[in-house]
Amino acid sequence: MNKGDRISQGNVQAGAPKLRKDAERNRRRIIEATREVIAELGVHAPVDEIAKRAGVGVGTLYRRFPDRTELIETVFLERAQRYLDTAREALRHEDAWEGFRTYLERLCAMQAEDRVVTDVLTLNLPDSPRLVELRYRIHSTQNRLIRAAKQQGALRADFTPEDVVLLLVAHAAIVQSLGDEAPESSPRFLALALDALRPDGAAPLPSAPRPDRLVKAMQRPPVVVRRRPGGTP
Amino acid sequence: MNKGDRISQGNVQAGAPKLRKDAERNRRRIIEATREVIAELGVHAPVDEIAKRAGVGVGTLYRRFPDRTELIETVFLERAQRYLDTAREALRHEDAWEGFRTYLERLCAMQAEDRVVTDVLTLNLPDSPRLVELRYRIHSTQNRLIRAAKQQGALRADFTPEDVVLLLVAHAAIVQSLGDEAPESSPRFLALALDALRPDGAAPLPSAPRPDRLVKAMQRPPVVVRRRPGGTP
DNA sequence: GTCGAAACGGAACTAAGAGTTCCGTTTTTT
DNA sequence: AAAAAACGGAACTCTTAGTTCCGTTTCGAC
């Protein structure tokens, strides 16, 4: 490493030494590029692509973020937060069903325009307590939405929070395999899904997957943020 | 290549010279192993895994099948055929709705126990006219199922064949990300999906994706059967 | 039973990614 | 103008996967 280079973190911390003007500008560009690129390509997006989009060399990127993970995490948490905000907003609807419907619609729209949203649902950064906490809040907000919609009689009684996961996993696949070429697929699927949630005339459902299993299943492949494939031996 | 080695094809053709006994036995083992392995891992399954499962060296495998693609294709077409059989059987139900429902259920079950089924739906082998033809037959059989179920008034009128694709893509994702850990997910999802198809009280759907676009979307990534990453320059 | 052809196994080679480092050059700052 | 900081991107490493090569083993015809 060169003399002047210094390891620092993506999130400027209190008391961090000020960056040179060009460095600060590049830091912002990198974060912005990361947002864009992983929205399109998902968290697996290669570093080179991010650097290119930011108009910066990879070296520059690594000077600011000690590794790929550090960089991704910044953006990842941002998204999780937005996810939570969506749930909370939905809760403010006075019509509970409308609130729930809006929630699903917004989530699907987010999935369609940003692949990371799906990843937030699915993946765990290694050791990110903050993400765990955000997920917890998302879930409990979501539960309140569901309960309210059921009480109102607008949502089938045997619907469970796990079903939301099923729908989102399903919709993610629709968007990922069909989204670009056949964008009508997403709204079409969502509309069908909503019809499945009506209480009237609903056939009884087989039992829902256990939540803990579901969580385990979704967090399974730590494939996401691989550490050190190359580099230091 | 050694003197004795000879390029031949996976499917024994008329007039092909007879294989030695051990060779013939290995050839069968390889095909069987391929079936098993790609059922579990999908068409991307590495050749080494297949060879290992067959209890055979990779060399042996390549002596019989000039390349990976050749091998996969054999099994792939077998599956596509079974897919078609399922559709045809469903057509024999006297109750059209039952037929259609059974069709979907069988398809989902097949997806759950064999990843290749999804691949058959999604992917094209390079230059496989036979697969194209099978697909065509599958589609037309499926269309008859749908028409009959609608006429009987058991299936919502705005349902289209494209919706079957949506459901299968969605279900494939459910099985792939949740299947192992939370096997209840698949039947649960299917039951919800079937409820979405009821004609009574169905909300009007947004327009379906155009079939040609859908086909294009699904056949997009020719990622599947990559040719020559290494090997002959 | 022997011997040549056929087949075998699996190490080694090639290619394509992808993350990380290194260092000669450029830009800021004082 | 000089020193410090930052820059860019080629080069290096590791991984994964398809394919070939060749010394060794097995089969089958005589």
**What pLDDT, in 10s, does the model give residues B151-164?**
999 999 999 999 99
Lowest mean pLDDT among A125-139, A217-231, B119-133: A217-231
Find which of A122, A188, A190 to mutate to test the B interface (most B CBs within 10 Å of its CB).
A188
More confident residue, B17 or A183: A183
Q: Are A221 and A126 in contact (CB under 8 A)?
A: no
What pLDDT sits at residue B16? 64
Q: Are A180 and B214 in contact (CB under 8 A)?
A: no
pLDDT at B1 over 70: no
What pLDDT sits at residue A100? 96
Residue A190: pLDDT band (50, 70, 90) is: very high
Q: What backbone phi and psi angles, to 5 degrees, belong to A200? A: -70, 130
Q: Are A185 and A179 in contact (CB under 8 A)?
A: yes
Q: Which fold has domain B21-65?
A: Arc Repressor Mutant, subunit A (1.10.10)
Domain ranges of chain A: 21-65, 77-218
- For range A19-47, the mean pLDDT: 92
What pLDDT sits at residue A107? 94
Q: For the segment B205-228, what is each residue's pLDDT rounded down to a tens digit?
A: 899 999 888 877 776 554 334 444
Q: For the segment B61-83, what is each residue's pLDDT rounded down to a tens digit?
A: 999 999 898 888 888 888 889 88
Distance from CA of B190 to the nearest CA of A (A): 9
Q: Do domains A21-65 and A77-218 have the same CATH topology?
A: no
Q: Nucleotide D25: nearest residue by CA–C1'?
A: B22
Q: Which fold has domain B77-218?
A: Tetracycline Repressor; domain 2 (1.10.357)
Which two structure tokens, joined as six digits, stand for B3? 């003197």
Alpha carbon distance A28, A8 (integer Å): 14
Q: For the segment B13-55, what is each residue's pLDDT rounded down to a tens digit?
A: 545 678 889 999 999 999 999 999 999 998 889 999 999 999 9
Contacts of A220 in chain B (CB under 8 A): 177, 181
Alpha carbon distance A175, A108 (integer Å): 9
The share of chain B scoring above pLDDT 90, in percent, equals 54
Which two structure tokens, joined as six digits, stand for A233? 């031996």
What pLDDT sits at residue B29? 95
Helix axes A47-54, A21-41, angle to 10 degrees: 130
A226 close contact with B: CB closer than 8 A = no
Mean pLDDT value across chain B? 85
What pLDDT sits at residue B232? 46
Lowest mean pLDDT among A47-56, A186-195, B110-119: B110-119
Lowest mean pLDDT among A54-68, A71-85, A104-118: A71-85
- For range B180-196, the mean pLDDT: 93
Assess whether A33 (CB) lies less than 7 A from strand D: no
Residue B4: pLDDT band (50, 70, 90) is: low
- Centre a 10 Å sphere on the Cβ of residue B42 and count the other Cβ atoms it contains: 17
Place of tokens 């989902």: B108
- For range B119-132, the mean pLDDT: 74
Out of A94-103, A210-219, B213-222, give the one with best mean pLDDT: A94-103
- For range A42-62, the mean pLDDT: 94
Nearest nucleotide (C1') to alpha carbon of A226: C19
B213 close contact with A: CB closer than 8 A = yes
Assess whether A22 (CB) lies less than 7 A from strand D: yes
What pLDDT sits at residue A15? 52
Q: Nucleotide C27: nearest residue by CA–C1'?
A: A22
Q: Which nucleotides of D are covered by protein (CB under 7 A)?
A: 4-24, 26-28
More confident residue, A154 or B129: A154
Residue A7: pLDDT band (50, 70, 90) is: very low
Alpha carbon distance B166, B155 (integer Å): 16
